[in-house]
Chain A
């Protein structure tokens, strides 16, 4: 009976209503999917894929595998205990000859230099000399050419080169490296900088986030409570910096904070200090300039949440006997939390990627992770390190976001 009713409802073409509805629903979904498809494709092609591919460089490095094919394959059977046998030396000579002829020794030397600082130039000079060798025994000849080939560690590096995947760059980003037997050891102190750099990056980001919150909250409150005309005017002043480039704003801080700059001159004239204070090219300058740039990002979400809080709650609290501070703290402040959370998260995550501001107003010891990513990409051409550092920063950010979501709940964030 019921089936019949449905079939009758389905009309003359005998298609049940349920299916018809489903079909309409599917078409609508397809339609909306088609509408977002261009953006989705754009994000995939121009964002997700290239970033993913670049990150892949953090673990993928086939330099030695492709440029020293004979040596790496000869070493795959080597047990790594004593020096390898004659066949490995013969393979090495072949590879070095080929590298010399194809002018790829520089690339090989650079790769070996990462793991064995100083070995690169020995490899190059060995290649120059090996290019003239014609007959064995290669082992004793090579060791005579350069004692490095009588050492264990360079062979271990070459053996690791048999795999196109390496943990070297990621280890290095945490100040670890491979030891002479292939075990993981701490980097020597003169090269161990990255743990500091990551801690510094998070430290500066936390400091800037806290500073923007302290400065931004009262202003947001003022904006939300003042009459519209005044608050609009103030709002324009807050948004105004957005119309100037970050570079210009950072450079402006240089003028203000330098040794004979406006701030120092003013403080000296007022007899607050007798000698110019060091305000720039150090942590102070970095945090001040970053706070200025990030202020609106923290302030605006708080403001828009405050705008939605009805004044009657506070009035009710006051009329029930709460003091002004008690009413504010117990009634008003908790309602602004979603805005504070959104503003702080936005600022914190943006701060993690700062590059140009610390470069211009910070000192050498204030550079954040992005600086090293840029340095390795653009100046040193060590893309493995650049990718590893970037991947770790991205991973840490996602992890923080996840923890934040678990603790606060992203759906509770309010941008307004």
Chain B
């Protein structure tokens, strides 16, 4: 019944004008903007050339409600999606994604480190949420505690409207060592402590939801510093502060019920392999998820990547098992906290 109803609610049009199932083709969905052309050049086109499978692109903005509607109404028209952090975890948890059969992918899962432990996708890249501030700032922030210090750094700061990295950062600013963050956050007292710390800057925060908004806020001097996802443009425009940078992951995932499962697996195998992952770094400062790709990265761009050894050493290693487990609860609380 639900399936039938959903077909009418969201996907009526999609179901009616479903394209004829041509032989070798694949609909791949990513985030659009400046990122998708980079993927097109370095991943999609080489893949089509290598396999003869034609790629049709689509764009989404992380609105996973659409994917749930597709899966539940059995009208899946997206074969591979570029799923990031919490969206990926929620979809996997709710059974909306195929569990990856690594034998079928044919890549060594261990090469992907922590990101490879996720059951529903092949890691595509590693990014970081860091703090950016204006160039020539006479009073630059040096640690994540400075983000929370409104006395030494008066003014608005931009933060991502999302429970992580804010809860982790709040605890680190409150004196919790980086390695113990998730241990503390796993206790009710730890969560209270994080929110209490966030309370102290609540009136000085402008929340953003898209990468472009964060850049805009700082470029317009609406904020004195902002958390933002690493990007080439931001790296050129602003200064970076890498202390307690929070790792984010992206995975190539397959919505359950994709009509092109075989081709989708071929895509996952290609996109996860070292060469295309290394190629992407030429145009975007994201770290390749496949450790073998690091050797293929141009030495010139190596320093711009978020996962250099020095940067890894001071970063928050996002415990996504923790977030899969507790994400629901913390998201509820975070959103209620925001709305007050």
Contact = CB atoms under 8 A, between A and B. Distances in A.
B5 interface: yes
Given A106-B95, A364-B338, A260 B221 contact: yes
B328 A363 contact: no
Interface in A7-62: 45-46, 49-50, 53-54, 56
Interface in A349-386: 359, 363-365, 367, 372, 375, 377-381, 383
Interface string A187-215: 00011110011000000000000000000
Contacts of A110: 93-94, 328
A375 B62 CA distance: 11
A21 to B, nearest CB: 42
B206 interface: yes
Contact of B12 (A50, A109, A191, A375): A50
Count chain B CB atoms within 10 A of each CB in A109, A118, A379 and give the residue with the most. A379
Contact of A380 (B8, B9, B326, B331): B331
Nearest to A251: B216
For chain A, give the interface size range: 35 or more
A120 interface: yes
A104 B95 CA distance: 7
A260 B90 CA distance: 39
Contacts of B65: 377-379, 381, 383
Contacts of A379: 62-65, 86-87, 90
Contact of B206 (A281, A359, A383): A281
A249 B185 CA distance: 42
A361 B228 CA distance: 19
Contacts of B87: 379
A236 B94 CA distance: 52
Given A113-B328, A380-B331, A193 B64 contact: no
Interface in B303-340: 325-326, 328-329, 331-333, 335-340
A148 interface: no
Nearest to B329: A117
Given A120-B329, A121-B325, A381-B64, A50 B339 contact: no
B8 A49 contact: yes
Contacts of B325: 120-121, 124
A258 interface: yes
Contact of B333 (A190, A261, A364): A190
Given A54-B9, A107-B95, A113 B64 contact: no
Given A50-B8, A196-B340, A259-B221, A364 B207 contact: yes
A45 to B, nearest CB: 7
A103 interface: yes
Contact of B336 (A53, A190, A383): A190
Nearest to B86: A379
Given A49-B8, A103-B95, A378-B66, A197 B339 contact: yes
Contacts of B93: 106-107, 109-110
Contact of A117 (B8, B9, B12, B332): B332
Contacts of B221: 259-260
A214 B244 CA distance: 51
Nearest to A371: B339
Secondary structure type dominating chain A contacts: helix
Count chain A CB atoms within 10 A of each CB in B10, B66, B93, B156 and give the residue with the most. B93
B336 A193 contact: yes
B81 interface: no
A245 to B, nearest CB: 17
Interface in A92-113: 103-104, 106-107, 109-110, 113
A260 B223 CA distance: 10
Contacts of A364: 161, 205, 207, 338-339
A365 B206 CA distance: 11
Secondary structure type dominating chain B contacts: helix
A120 B323 CA distance: 12
Nearest to A380: B331
Contacts of A363: 206-207
Nearest to B330: A117
B103 interface: no
A338 to B, nearest CB: 37
B253 to A, nearest CB: 15
Count chain B CB atoms within 10 A of each CB in A106, A113, A197, A359 and give the residue with the most. A106
Contacts of A193: 335-336, 339-340
A387 to B, nearest CB: 10
B335 A375 contact: yes
B328 A120 contact: yes
A360 to B, nearest CB: 8
A121 B94 contact: no
Contact of A190 (B64, B156, B337): B337
Given A107-B94, A377-B65, A191 B336 contact: yes
Nearest to B63: A378
A55 to B, nearest CB: 10
Contacts of A54: 5, 9
B12 A46 contact: yes
Contacts of A280: 222
Contacts of B66: 378
Contacts of B271: none
B68 interface: yes
Interface string B47-88: 000000000000000111110100000000000000000110
Contacts of B12: 45-46, 50
B336 A106 contact: no
Contacts of B331: 380
A121 B326 contact: yes
Contacts of A261: 220
B108 to A, nearest CB: 24
Contacts of B340: 193, 196, 365
B92 interface: yes
Interface of A: 45-46, 49-50, 53-54, 56, 103-104, 106-107, 109-110, 113, 117-118, 120-121, 124, 190-193, 196-197, 258-261, 280-281, 359, 363-365, 367, 372, 375, 377-381, 383
By Cβ-Cβ distance, the 10 closest A-B pairs, closest first, are A106-B93, A378-B65, A378-B63, A364-B338, A53-B5, A50-B9, A121-B325, A377-B65, A193-B339, A117-B329
Given A45-B8, A365-B340, 5 more contacts: A103-B95, A104-B95, A109-B93, A375-B335, A379-B90
21 contacts: A53-B9, A103-B95, A106-B93, A109-B93, A113-B329, A117-B333, A120-B328, A121-B325, A121-B326, A193-B336, A196-B339, A259-B221, A261-B220, A364-B207, A364-B339, A367-B339, A378-B62, A379-B63, A379-B64, A379-B90, A381-B68
